[in-house]
Amino acid sequence: MNSNALLATLICPNPTCQHQQSVMMPTTFCQLSYTCEACSMTHAHKRGDCCVFCSYADKPCPSMQGEDACCPSVLSDEEIFLMQG
């Protein structure tokens, strides 16, 4: 995956703002909220989406683009236990 695939544009869901900012998406964890640099509101991901990029960005997050299972944060307790082992 090239680095361009990790550059997403987050679009502020605040209807009076809708500011767009370019953000590099993390690949090692899911970003569950972000703070708009224009209106300073913090936006959590939508219910059912795995992260703010799936909810508000112009492209889905890396884990949704790839064939890997979704984000580490949604692994079951058993899988987390295996990773720690």
Does residue number 46 form part of the binding site for Zn ion (CB under 5 A)? no
Region from 10-18, 22-30, 49-57, 74-82 binding Zn ion, contact rule CB under 5 A:
10-18
In the bound state with Zn ion, the residue whose beta carbon lies nearer, of 12 and 50, is 12
Among 23, 32, 39, 64, binds Zn ion (CB under 5 A): 39
Consecutive H or E run containing 43: strand 42-44
Does residue number 17 form part of the binding site for Zn ion (CB under 5 A)? yes
Residue matched to tokens 């949704």: 64
Question: What CA–CA distance (Å, rounded) separates 37 from 4?
Answer: 21
